[in-house]
Amino acid sequence: MNNKYLEKLEYNKILEMLCSFAKTYIGINKCKNLKPSANVEYLLNQTYQAYNLICRNGNLPISEIDNIDILIKNLESNFSLTNCDLLKLTHILKTSREIKEYFCFNFNNEEYILISEYFSNLYTNKALEKEINDKILDENTIADNASAKLKSIRKSQKDLSIEIKNKLNAIVHSATYSNYLQDNVVTIKNERYVVPVKEEYRGQIKGFVHSVSSSGSTVFIEPLSVFELNNELNNLKADEQIEILRILEELSKKFALITNELSNTVSLIGEIDFIFAKASFSKSINGINPEINKNKYINLISARHPLIDKNKIVPIDISIGEKYFTLVITGPNTGGKTVALKTTGLLLLMAYSGLLIPAHENSSIFVFDNIFADIGDEQSIADSLSTFSSHMLNIIEITKCATKNSLILLDELRFWY
């Protein structure tokens, strides 16, 4: 259908509302690009099944997921991932597992046949999910228990740090050296333990100067007595980093084995998010799954325009196609004529997009091959067209393109006399 007619009927505003119900970047993008389809019955039934599942189980347990395209490429190129990257992939595994658990396969799959395949094809790996969460505490921290070697290295670091601090504390609290110190504390400069010494006494403590205070009154000295211990501690830190890289490489290889499954699962999560966004939106407007007839008629009962406040909207009945094929609506200004036209066109467009419509459950629609609308002031300054001329051009275009299975909505016919 021509985008011009979709905009006239405010279909774009429906998509804006729909996007607010999607959680993932894929789902949001699908909502933004949703267009009416000819496969109406399938789409409506699919949404209706998701709607029923929401009523039965509550909202879908889904949140935003990261785009992992670059991570997949890195894995396929045998690159190791970072803590943050691995946590992103684990979040996808977690989301997939929770969505699958939400569906619960003890349900009668026939009842949800149009959506069950999406859930059943989701990839889950609870063991890998648990392993990552056990070994990676956050974006910057690997757990001590990530490997026996890492645990041993960190224990040695801790013991050695205590030994160095004890030696330096003996210096800062001794009667001999305490008068030389700016503060009786042990600190770290350039990843080495040092003590703060007054500038005038820097020669009284043998060691290496690592830093000087901004005022120049304090020098930070690493005493010779802890030089080798600091070296040993730094060696342990280097060993720690090597072991962490090894752990990350090992975990990355496990994800490298399932790149296809991950990519497919992300797509499925996005598709499920999209379907359930349509269902949640439909639920928010009290939508129903209309009957689809083959006899080219519309019977909308208690139809409500979804963009008008629920507390102010006046439901309308619209019937055309059974006893008559042309319907003229007359009445005073602000009487609701334009709203009636827009309600009819918009609800049909929504149904053709798989969205349940706000009307009585006995409503029936026909799938027209096109919907044309000439509604509102079409004056164009840029094209030097008057309102009348614009309407006439629209009418000409409609008469050229419309078929016997099209629906035509015309507003303000008085302009043409």
What is the reported pLDDT for 21?
Answer: 98
Percent of the chain scoring above 70 in pLDDT: 94
CB 272 within 8 A of CB 62: yes
pLDDT at 380: 40
Q: What is the pLDDT at residue 413?
A: 65
Residue 172 has what pLDDT?
87
Quote the pLDDT of residue 414: 52
pLDDT mean over 258-275: 98
* CA-closest candidate to residue 290, choices 368, 370, 352, 342: 352
Based on the number of CB atoms within 10 Å of its own CB, is 137 exposed (0-12), middle (13-18) or buried (19 or more)?
Answer: middle
The pLDDT-based confidence of 416 (bands split at 50, 70, 90) is very low
CA distances to 125, 131, 145, 248 from 137, rounded to whole Å, are 19, 11, 11, 13
Interval 136-177: pLDDT, tens: 999 999 999 999 999 999 999 999 999 999 999 998 888 888
Q: What would the mean pLDDT of 231-255 be, rounded to a whole number?
A: 97
pLDDT value of residue 381: 37
Which CATH architecture does the domain made up of 148-239 adopt?
Orthogonal Bundle (1.10)
Residue boundaries of the structural domains of the chain: 3-18+287-416, 23-142+245-284, 148-239
Tell me, yes or no, if the two domains 3-18+287-416 and 23-142+245-284 fold the same way: no
What is the pLDDT averaged over residues 244-272? 98
Q: Is the pLDDT of residue 417 over 60?
A: no
Q: What is the mean pLDDT of residues 191-218?
A: 91
Torsion of CA 176, 177, 182, 184, to 10 degrees: -90
Q: Per residue in 117-135, pLDDT tens? A: 999 999 999 999 999 999 9
Average pLDDT of the chain, as a whole number? 91
pLDDT digits (tens, 9 = 90+) for 302-336: 999 999 988 888 899 999 998 888 888 887 776 68
What confidence tier does 271 reach under pLDDT thresholds 50, 70, 90? very high
- pLDDT score, position 384: 41
Tell me: the pLDDT tens digits for 65-117?
999 999 999 999 999 999 999 999 999 999 999 999 999 855 667 789 999 99
Q: CB 159: neighbour CB atoms within 10 A?
A: 11
pLDDT classification of 395: cutoffs 50, 70, 90: confident
pLDDT of residue 376: 67
Topology at the third CATH level for domain 3-18+287-416: Rossmann fold (3.40.50)
- pLDDT the model gives residue 92: 98
Which tens digits make up the pLDDT trace of 17-68?
999 999 999 999 999 999 999 999 999 999 999 999 999 999 999 999 999 9
Beta carbons within 8 Å of 29's beta carbon, 6+ residues apart = 270
| pLDDT class of 367 with cuts at 50, 70, 90 | very high
Class of domain 23-142+245-284: mainly alpha
> Residue 263: is it exposed, middle or buried by C-beta count within 10 angstroms (0-12/13-18/19+)?
middle
Higher pLDDT, 179 or 31: 31
Q: Which of 208-212, 348-352, 387-391 has the lowest mean pLDDT?
A: 387-391
Q: For residue 387, what pLDDT band results from cuts at 50, 70 and 90?
A: low
Across residues 2-21, what is the average pLDDT?
A: 94
* pLDDT value at residue 135: 98
User: For the CA atoms of the chain, what is the radius of gyration?
Assistant: 35
